[in-house]
Chain A
Amino acid sequence: MLNRTLLAVFCGILFGAGLAISDMINPARVLAFLDVAGAWDPTLAFVIGGALIPSAAAYLIKNRMETPILEKRFHVPTNRTIDTPLIAGAVIFGLGWGLVGLCPGPAVAALVTLKWQAIVFVIAMIVGMAAYRYLPQAGAKVTA
């Protein structure tokens, strides 16, 4: 239990540090990537490209493992069906992301700056998650 918690904190530290040094906690940088008709900024492409290298390597290693090191089994989604909730959710998320330039990871990491904008955004994000959870139809099929 302690090992798992320490591992999660350690992974979180790497994650947050990565977001900060790559400028992803700066919404202006993210919006400049999304603004293909403006002064386009490729930063986000380097971040995703860089992240995919170790992440993809890990999935190759995982395929040769029976279980994760600290757990009894892997919790990786096996669903491969592209359905309406997936696409509708991605559309709604994309709209919010494009409006402000913050997605969940950078929004949480940006809390360290104590900027009121980050705090407001994270609170609204949690309210949005609660709306999904408690709206009967949308929340009927809760996925982790």
Chain B
Amino acid sequence: MMTELHFLWPLAGGLLIGLSAALYLLYAGRIAGISGLAATVVGLANGGSWSPGRTQALGFLLGSVLGAGLAIAFIREPQIIITSSLGLLVAGGLLVGFGTRLGSGCTSGHGVCGLARLSPRSIAATLTFMVVAALTVFTVRHLLQGIV
């Protein structure tokens, strides 16, 4: 079972994420949106050629892996419980990859950066993916319980 988590942990974590987005905006002038950065790193955003933006995006993503590792090693070890089957992981990954590109962003780009600047597109996108994700969980856990 999952343990309770004191709210100061997510609050502190959120502040760090927001600080990251704030610094990236004020120094690099860019949105810290992970789906966009990931697409840039693998050459699926705009052009295929290597650009300074791509090096920067790679730096951000490698930094996030390193930062998670440092936090796990020195601050707090999170529980990581993934119960999804292989098929579900593949389906989920495909949908998340395709959907975030079509919809121009994910939880970080629309949720953290877009809501902060009151972008109408990001507000609409965030409400949409939150509601759809909640409906999906409701369907899987409560309507189809025991079936899938």
Contact = CB atoms under 8 A, between A and B. Distances in A.
Contact of B67 (A15, A43, A46, A107): A15
Contact of B121 (A57, A79, A104): A79
A16 B65 contact: yes
Q: Which of B17, B28, B99, B106 has the most CB of A within 10 A?
A: B17
Interface in B98-148: 98-104, 106-108, 110-113, 115-117, 119-121, 124-126, 128-138, 140-142
A40 B30 CA distance: 34
B84 A56 contact: no
Contacts of B79: 23, 26, 28-29
A100 B88 contact: yes
Q: Is the interface of B mostly helix, strand, loop or mixed?
A: helix
Give the bracket for the number of chain A residues in contact with chain B: 35 or more
Interface of B: 2, 5, 7, 9-32, 34-36, 38-40, 42, 44-46, 52, 55-57, 59-72, 75-76, 78-84, 86, 88-104, 106-108, 110-113, 115-117, 119-121, 124-126, 128-138, 140-142
A54 B22 contact: yes
B7 A90 contact: no
Given A17-B71, A34-B136, 6 more contacts: A74-B29, A99-B140, A110-B80, A113-B72, A121-B96, A129-B97
B26 A112 contact: no
A56 B97 CA distance: 27
A5 B102 contact: no
28 contacts: A4-B55, A9-B63, A11-B27, A15-B21, A16-B64, A16-B65, A20-B67, A21-B12, A21-B71, A27-B84, A28-B79, A42-B7, A44-B10, A46-B14, A47-B14, A49-B11, A59-B117, A61-B26, A89-B99, A97-B107, A99-B91, A104-B34, A105-B34, A108-B38, A112-B72, A129-B35, A132-B101, A142-B46
Contacts of A46: 7, 10-11, 14
B35 to A, nearest CB: 4
Contacts of A14: 16-17, 19-20, 23, 67
A18 B14 contact: yes
Given A92-B102, A96-B94, A132-B97, A10 B23 contact: yes
A7 B130 CA distance: 31
Q: Which of A85, A128, A131, A132 gathers the greatest number of chain B CB atoms within 10 Å? A: A128
A82 B116 contact: no
Interface of A: 1, 4-29, 31-32, 34-38, 41-44, 46-59, 61-62, 65, 67-71, 73-77, 79-82, 85-105, 107-113, 115, 117-118, 120-133, 138, 142-144
